[in-house]
Chain A
Amino acid sequence: QSVLTQPPSVSAAPGQKVTISCSGTSSNIGNNYVSWYQHLPGTAPKLLIYDNNERPSGIPDRFSGSKSGTSATLGITGLESGDEANYYCGAWDTSLTFMVFGGGTDLTVL
């Protein structure tokens, strides 16, 4: 069972917007920064968002991140078929002293 909670799956049509939630506690999201990762099976996970809402170079601005209290959200606009993947949130956990992850959300572009 993962420390952070994500919905198992989300779906939306091409061109639409989708949001993926990530819920934690004061030990992790509430007092630390959140990162988001995109993972296609058999490939290397890719960093999408760090420090709650910062995008690494090369990540399009269709991807955005936000945080409020003990929850975080990943937003993806202008959905494309290539966005179909598993998405994971992560945050440092001050009590556990390591990075914890959500269980992952499977995005389907209808």
Chain B
Amino acid sequence: VQLVESGGGLVQPGGSLRLSCAASGFTVNTNYMVWVRQGPGKGLEWVSVIYASGSINYAESVKDRFTISRDISKNMVYLEMNSLRAEDTAVYYCARGNWNYGYYFDYWGQGTLVTVSS
């Protein structure tokens, strides 16, 4: 199993960016997939999830600005980020979700850095 994120970079406040997560070793519609971010000097923060069923959820801080999606044919997961704010500056990680008795994330990518600054 491998996850590789891309698409990060420097963007001005109010701008947009699309992050990509290339998955290998499994298919993205057999597990739930999440985006988790870590701001500078901060801990991990869950951002969004897309379940195997296709159901989606977002953290309140990004709702109505971010959109998660997947392309099963390409085995990719995406995070479209609009109306970016300085507080969205973070390393964004893609992770595979799993479940036994509880939820957990068993594989993570190395992350892609998003910097929102003028």
Q: Which residues of A contact B (CB under 8 A)?
A: 2, 32-35, 37, 39, 42-47, 50-52, 54, 56, 88, 90-92, 97-104
Contact = CB atoms under 8 A, between A and B. Distances in A.
Interface in B80-94: 93
Interface in B45-67: 45-46, 49, 57, 59
A93 B65 CA distance: 23
Nearest to A103: B43
Contact of B44 (A34, A43, A52, A88): A88
A42 B112 CA distance: 10
Given A34-B102, A35-B102, A39-B44, 9 more contacts: A33-B104, A44-B3, A44-B108, A44-B110, A47-B104, A88-B44, A90-B44, A91-B102, A102-B43
Interface of B: 3, 34, 36, 42-46, 49, 57, 59, 93, 95, 98, 100-111
A35 B3 CA distance: 20
A99 B46 contact: yes
A50 B107 CA distance: 12
A45 B101 contact: no
Q: Is the interface of A mostly helix, strand, loop or mixed?
A: strand
Nearest to A4: B43
Contacts of A39: 44
Given A43-B110, A98-B49, A50 B100 contact: yes
Contacts of B57: 97-98
A45 B93 contact: yes
A50 B108 contact: no
A88 B93 CA distance: 14
Contact of B110 (A42, A47, A104): A42
A51 B34 CA distance: 18
A43 B30 CA distance: 25
A56 B114 CA distance: 31
A102 to B, nearest CB: 6
Contacts of B104: 33, 35, 47, 50-51, 90
